[in-house]
Amino acid sequence: MDLSLYFTRQDLWGILPEIVLLVGALIILSIELFARSQRAAMLGVGILSLVIAGGFASKNFGSSFILFQGMVTLNDYSTFFDLLYMTAGIVTMVISYNYLERKGGETRGEYFALILFATMGMMLMTRGNDLVIIFLGMELLSLSLYVLVGFLRHDVFSNESAIKYLLLGAFATGFFLFGAVLVYGTTGTTNFQHIASAITNNEILSDTLLSLGIGLLLVGFAFKVALVPFHMWSPDVYQGAPTSVTAFLCTAPKAAGFGALLKVFLVAFPALHADWQDLLWALALLTMIVGNISALVQTNVKRMLAFSSVTHAGYLCIGILVLNEMGVSAILFYLLVYSVMNLGAFGIISLLEKEEKGVNFKDYEGLASKHPWLSASLALFMLSLAGFPPTAGFVAKYTLFSSAISEGYIWLIIIAILNTLVSVYYYVRLIVNMYMRTSEETLVPFLHPLLSVVIFILAISIMFFGVLPGWLIDTVTQAARIYT
C-alpha cells in the first residue's frame, strides 16, 4: 500500500507535537504497568513530553502550512494556542502533584496521560481547518475531561459532577454534530475555505437550513465555553472536580473552545455574519449579567470562580463581534491572561485545600498575616481578574473593550464596564477576608518548591504583562492573522 497517497512526510512533521504527546502518554501508562506509585517519574515524563512538544510546535512560529489536504492548517494562530495549552498542561501537572493524595485519592498514571490526550484534542481544535477535525478534537478533549473530573473515585461529588458533565456534554455534542451535518448538507463540504467560497459563490441549497446549522454549531460551542444559558454544568463541575482539574478545565479547554469558535465563524461564515451576530450579542449580554449576579452570592470560592469564568466568557464574546484582526488579537491576549490568572488562583486554592476546608470564603480569614507571600499572590490574581491597572487583567480588558468601541458596540461596552465594576465586589471580598479579618485557625498551605516557583512565575507574569505588555501584544497581533 502506498501511504504517500494519504499523507506526506511534511504532514507527519507537522503533527510531530501530537506524536510526542502520544508517545509520552504511552510511556506514562507503561510506567504504571511495571511500577506503581512512581508519581515523580510520571510527572517528569508528562512535563518533559509537553516541553518537547512545545519546542517542536514553537518552531512553526512565523510560517504556515496546509497539511492533510487542507484538513489541518498550521500558522501562528494555531501555534499560539498550542503553546497556551502546553503551558496550562505543565502548570496543571505541577499543581496536581500530591493534590489527589491530600484529598484521599491516588495519582494514577492515567491522570497525566489524560491531560496529554486532552492537550492533543485541543490542539486539533485550533489546528483543524475542517468541521470533522474540530469535532474529533472536541471529542478527544471532552472524553479525557469527563474522566479527569471524576478522578476522585471515592468522592461522591467528583463522581456526580463527572456524570453531569458527561450527560450534558453528550447532549450538546449532538447539537454540534447536527449543525455540522446541516452545514455539510447545504454547502457540500466541511472544509472552512470551501464553505466560505460556497457561500460567496451562491452555491447554497437552502439558506434557512444553513443558518440553522450555524445556530446549532454555536450551541455546541456555547456549551463548551459555558455561555448562558448553556453554562449550567460549569459551576457544579468546577466545584465537584478535583481543584487541580478545575484549574485545567476552566483555562485551556475554554481557550480551545474560543479558538475553534473564532476560526469557524470568522473563516467559514464571515459572509453570513448578519445571521449570527445578533445571537452572539444576546449571548454575550446574558452571559455577562447572569454570570456576574450569580457570582455575587457565592460562599464557595471555587463556585465563585466558576461563575466568574462564565462572566469572562461573556466579555470574550464581545471580541468575536468585533469581526476584525484587532478583535481577534484582543481575544488571544485576553485568553492568555485569563488562563494565567485562573491557573494561579486555582493553584493556590488547591494547595490550601484540606478535606472539607479551604474552599469557602470564610476559610480565608486572616491568611495574610500567616502567609503574606501566598496571600499577596492570590490578591494579585483577584485584582487582575477584576481588571485593576496595572495588572495584565486591565490591559486585557482595555484592549478588548476599546476594539469593540471602535466598531460601535457602545451599549454592550457600557454594560460590560458596569459588570466589571460589580465584579470587583466578589473578587475583593476574598482580599478583604485575607487582609482585614482575623481568625483563630488559618489554612495551612502544602507548598512544595516546584509549585512555589510556578505560582511565583504566574504572579510575576501578571505584573509583567500589565506593565510591559508590548511583547505579548506584538505576538498576539501576529497570531491574529487567521484569515491566511
Partner 1 sequence: MIGLIPFFPLLGFLINGLGGKRISERMSGIIASVVVGLSFIVAITLFGEFLKIGTPLEQTLFTWIAVGKFTVSFSYVLDSLSLVMVLVITGVGLLIHIFSIGYMKGDPGIQRYFSYLNLFTFMMLTLVMSDNFLAMFLGWEGVGLCSYLLIGFWFEDPVKAAAGKKAFIVNRIGDFGFLLAMFLIFSRFGSLKFMDVLIPQQIAQIPIEIVTAITLLLFLGATGKSAQIPLHIWLPDAMAGPTPVSALIHAATMVTAGVYLIARCGILFAASEITMSVIAVIGILTAFFAATIALTETDIKKVLAYSTISQLGFMFAAVGVGAFAAGIFHLMTHAFFKGLLFLAAGSVIHGMSGEQNMLKMGGLKQKMPTTYWTMLAGVAAISGLPLLSGFFSKDEILWNVYSSQFGGNILFGIGLFTAAMTAFYMFRLFFMTFHGDRRWSKEVSPHESPKIMTIPLIMLAVLSVVGGFIGIPESWGGHNFFHQFLQKSTQDATGYITHQYSSGLLLSENILMILSIVAAIGGLLLAYRFYVQRPDIPGKISKSLSIAYKLVSGKYFIDELYGLLFVRPLRNGSELFLKKFDISVIDGIANGSGKVMLVLGNKLRRIQTGVMQNYAAVIFLGVISIIFYLYLK
For partner 1, give the closer residue by CB, 144 or 329: 329
Q: Which is nearer to partner 1, 308 or 399 (CB)?
A: 399
Q: Which three-class secondary structure string do you get for 16-27?
A: HHHHHHHHHHHH
Q: How far is the CB of 27 from partner 1 (least distance, A)?
A: 37
CB of 457 to partner 1, least distance (A): 18
Measured CA distances, 193 to 10, 90, 200, 254 (Å): 21, 34, 11, 24
Residue 148 Cβ vs partner 1, minimum distance, rounded to whole Å: 19
State how far the Cα of 131 lies from the Cα of 176, in Å rounded to an integer.
10
We find the least distance from the C-beta atom of residue 278 to partner 1, in angstroms, to be: 8
Q: Minimum distance between the CB of residue 291 and partner 1, rounded to whole angstroms? A: 11
CA distances from 429 to 154, 178, 414, 440, 468 (A): 33, 43, 24, 19, 28
Residue closer to partner 1, measured from CB, 55 or 104: 104
| Nearer residue to partner 1 within complex by CB, 259 or 469 | 469
CA distances from 229 to 236, 285, 310 (A): 14, 11, 10
Nearest-approach distance from CB 147 to partner 1, in angstroms: 19
CB of 109 to partner 1, least distance (A): 30
To the nearest whole angstrom, how small is the minimum distance from the Cβ of residue 376 to partner 1?
9
**Which C-beta is closer to partner 1: that of 202 or that of 438?**
438
Compare residues 72 and 413 and give the one whose CB is closer to partner 1.
Answer: 413
Spatial separation of the C-alpha atoms in residues 299 and 364, rounded to whole Å: 11
Rounded Cα distance between 7 and 190, Å, is: 19
Give min distance, CB of 215 to partner 1, in A: 5
Specify which residues 357 forms β-bridges with: 354
Burial (CB < 10 A; 0-12, 13-18, 19+), residue 315, is buried
Contact 92, 78 (CB under 8 A): no
Distance CA 222, CA 476 (A): 23
Nearer to partner 1, 283 or 345 (CB): 283
Instruction: Report which of 22, 27, 79 is spatially closest to residue 54, judged by C-alpha positions.
Output: 79
List, as one string, the DSSP characters of 263-317.
HIIIIISGGGHHHHHHHHHHHHHHHHHHHHHHHHT--BHHHHHHHHHHHHHHHHH
Cβ-Cβ contacts under 8 Å for 69 (sequence gap 6 or more) = none
State in Å, rounded, how far the first CA of the chain is from the last one.
34
- Reported as half-sphere exposure (CB side, CA atoms, 13 A), residue 371 has a value of 20
Q: Which is nearer to partner 1, 12 or 418 (CB)?
A: 418
**Cβ closer to partner 1: 13 or 398?**
398
